[in-house]
Amino acid sequence: MSGIGDILEPSGELAEGLPPAAEPVADNAISLSLADLLPDSSGAIVIEGEAEDLSVRIVTDATVVDAGVVEQLVTATGEDVSGHAYFAFENGTTLYAPRDLDLLIVNSDV
């Protein structure tokens, strides 16, 4: 599964050929549409960010129905998301991200 590190160059600059969902919102921020991210067979999407001061905005029209911190979990694709924050959406998708990642869920109607 692709992560944020695959979209940003090591320098923090946006890579050539970004997918349409990726839209820079500031020097250290990126905006992604939840609808354009591909979940695994269990509905999990894992966001990873290793750049310092990276801010990620997830735009969606789906409602968050549950959120918290995962105690221990390995996704269907084998990614260990233990200790990650999670956001479960009404459409069955669950987004996982490191707790230290600056993550904002934004309603697409706003």
- The helix (run of H) or strand (run of E) holding residue 68 is strand 64-69
Residue 27 CA to chain centroid, in angstroms? 18
Give the HSE-up count for residue 99: Cα atoms under 13 Å, Cβ half-sphere: 9
d(CA 55, CA 29): 4
| pLDDT tens column, 74-93 | 999 999 999 999 999 999 99
Q: Is 36 helix (H, G, I), strand (E, B) or coil?
A: helix
Per-residue model confidence as pLDDT tens digits over 44-72: 999 987 767 789 999 999 999 999 999 99
User: Is the per-residue pLDDT at 21 higher than 70?
Assistant: no
Please state whether the predicted TM-score (pTM) of the whole model is above 0.75: no
